[in-house]
Amino acid sequence: MKVLVIGGGGREHAIVWKLAQSPKVDKIYCCPGNAGIAEHAECVDIDLRDFESLVDFVKYEWIDLTIVGPEDPLARGIVDVFEKNELKIMGPDSRASQLEASKVFAKEFMKRHGIPTAEYRVFTSYLHAEEYVRMKGAPIVIKADGLAAGKGVVVAKTVDEAIDALKKIMKDRVFGDAGDRVVVEECLQGEEASYLVFTDGETILPMASSQDHKRVYDNDEGPNTGGMGAYSPAPVVSADIEKDIMEKVMKPAIKGLNKEGIRYKGVLYAGLMINKGRPHVLEFNCRFGDPETQPLLTRLKSDLLEISLAIVEERLSRMTLQWRPEASVCVVAASGGYPGRYEKGKEIKGLDDVKKMNDVVVFHAGTSFQDGKIVTSGGRVLGVTALGTDIKEARDRAYSAIEKIHFEGMHYRKDIARRAIERSSN
């Protein structure tokens, strides 16, 4: 079979890497891809906003299945266009993707269907939002309504920090139209976890638990990013908590969407805060997380192509998922200045040394070729991912690998998965 993967980040490299292991996959295309993806797939240069050209390409190449990685094409309706052309594509349509594309839609949806989440208010007026923040005090969370590449959420420790976030979103328009509305919500305390499921709109198959690290610096300091590292499994998600997540979050979400006439097919991701053994939803994402995908897919034993086809063809009830017993840890190497301004075109050295290591995979995110060399081309550059008998061994292996890699300005967090190890040792 021929498969097209939409996207060019670390998540998409992991998807391509996993698809390449399927005996049923003959050829993989990736649009636009990156330097690492090019080892497994033919990279195609088509504008991701040009759905008609993508449809023409899929028809011309007789591609059997398309898998969408990033949120933006989903929100803009790539699935709707492909399905209209009777092409198989794995991902939710534009109506279902509102769960991620609009924080306001997601919060109101959760309220309608009794899904546990933080108290909130929605504002279109900066003055009213500022007044509310001053009344409520800090810590408090400010969210741009629309998509902002994982950077539209500010967990403000002070009132001044919250008001500064409101100004940037609503007055300075740093996220454009995504800041037309803001959600101001209470700051939940506890430990975060990521919980992802495959669903065809009826059957829900949970993935292994995982945890992301959003802040750019150690000890969860600094601004939010797209994610600086992740690990799986997440010890905070006990068997009892996992049961709660399925019964109080995932099943009500899919059931609620069906009630509203929305068939959700693809990956549904709940970003959770676990407090005193109870899960609350911080956000929904409508696709694989990045970087959670990297440790999850290194642990997944089942064939990703088979799962994807079962979702599209609404026969997921016949599937079971198998997971490797090992733990996996991903550490992200980022460009200097990220998540703010950063330079591109820095040569990456040491990748061949890491290839010689066992149970380590380097997933490329922001990389490209320049004069025959692999160089940086994004904020998050690489996701160094390792397996181990437990989280500590996987973490040690990941850090041993990342120390072999160098590029100008490179920085990475030194505390990925540390909390999980501390929890396991207590």
SS3 348: coil
SS3 351: helix
Fold of 119-186: Dna Ligase; domain 1 (3.30.1490)
pLDDT tens by residue, 127-136: 999 999 999 9
Segment 356-362 shows an average pLDDT of 97
Radius of gyration of the CA atoms of the chain, in A:
21
Fold of 2-91: Rossmann fold (3.40.50)
Tell me the HSE value of 232 on the side-chain side, using a 13 A CA sphere.
Answer: 26
pTM, to two decimals:
0.94
**Strand order of the sheet with strand 278-285?**
204-206, 191-199, 266-275, 278-285
**pLDDT exceeds cutoff 80 at 149:** no
Domain 189-318 has CATH 3.30.470.20: yes
**pLDDT of the residue at 426:** 66
**pLDDT exceeds cutoff 90 at 422:** no
pLDDT tens by residue, 234-256: 999 999 999 999 999 999 999 99
- Is 257 within 8 Å of 199 (Cβ atoms)? no
What percentage of the chain carries pLDDT values higher than 90? 94
The dihedral through the CA atoms of 309, 314, 318, 322 has a sign that is: positive
pLDDT tens by residue, 370-389: 999 999 999 999 999 999 99
Where do the structural domains in the chain lie, given as residue ranges? Answer: 2-91, 119-186, 189-318, 327-425
**pLDDT of the residue at 148:** 85
Q: 327-425 sits in which CATH class?
A: alpha beta
